[in-house]
Amino acid sequence: MGRRGKKKGRPISGWLVLGKPWDFGSTEAVSKIKWLFKADKAGHAGTLDPLASGMLPIALGEATKTVPYVMDGRKIYEFTVAWGEQRTTDDLEGEVTESSDQRPGRAAIEALLPNYTGVIEQVPPAFSAVKIAGERAYDMARSGEVVEIPSREVEIHRITLLSCPDPDHAIFEVECGKGTYVRALARDFGRDLGCFGHISALRRTMVVPFSEDQMVPLADLTALEEIEDDAERLAALDAFLVPAGEALAGLPRIDISGDQAHRLRMGNPIILRGRDAPVATDDACAFNAGVLVAIGEVAGGEFRPRRVFKA
């Protein structure tokens, strides 16, 4: 008797801008969403720590082809630093390694922030997903190894001190680029101020091009599990999806005809006409009747597809 094949999920495509709850891992969230939507494939655009909450964009189906463009987008976080302790994980989960009775004043904190604006050198936390000789840093750290991660350049577009609710805490908002570790900011702030510090609360409020008002709390999705009819439940879930093309808001857009869309989906280039057509660019996206057809390059008067999307 032949082996029964694995049941395939639905070929649904789109982005879910998930509001991830605290104490829920990013991989766990992706698995939950893939199961809820019965999707054939899923992936997220940027890990969010289990102890962090907020925006976790999850791509389903064909939309997974646009993940790299969202990964490169700016991100905004609101975070609270607790002064007086440095911890192994740079958040509440870790053990205390250093402590101090000193507490920084508002003026001292604000004077420090310009040093952390622009392109800076940052050492990722020992408990992070950074790979060292093929191993994840957090796996090495959990096994008791001394983890030495080289510094890397990250970009901080702006950082603002929102409030100091008490002497032990300060609340910030930061807008940053890909690869920035907010936990490392808390650690470095504490060291520079001579009082030590770690993250006690972290929430991601934006991942460009998505906005906070598009965010859907996980509880709103799981509540739909009570709908017994499969078709009705899936239709209610699908209403939360954002079209794949919205992930490419930062790329030049080319509107094409149905015949051109067919050519691109066959892997063939198309000739561009009109004064508004891009002259040359490494990344552009082609749409037909508002539906994303392909991502590709423009050169020599042609649009050459690199990634195509099913109709």
Burial of 164 (0-12, 13-18, 19+ CB in 10 A): middle
Distance between CA 175 and CA 207 in Å, rounded?
10
Q: Is 200 helix (H, G, I), strand (E, B) or coil?
A: strand
- Taking a C-beta distance cutoff of 8 angstroms, is the pair 128, 141 a contact? no
What are the helix (H) ranges across the chain? 26-37, 67-71, 106-112, 137-142, 182-192, 218-222, 230-238, 258-265
Alpha-carbon gap, residue 149 to 102, rounded angstroms: 28
Q: Find the helix or strand (DSSP H, E) in which 11 lies.
A: none
Q: Which residues are known to be catalytic?
A: 49
- DSSP class of residue 25 equals -
**Closest among 292, 254, 258 to 274, alpha carbons compared:** 254
Paired tokens of 5: 């094949």
| DSSP 8-state symbol, 147 | P
**Distance (Å, rounded) from C-alpha 75 to C-alpha 206?**
5
The amino acid at 173: E
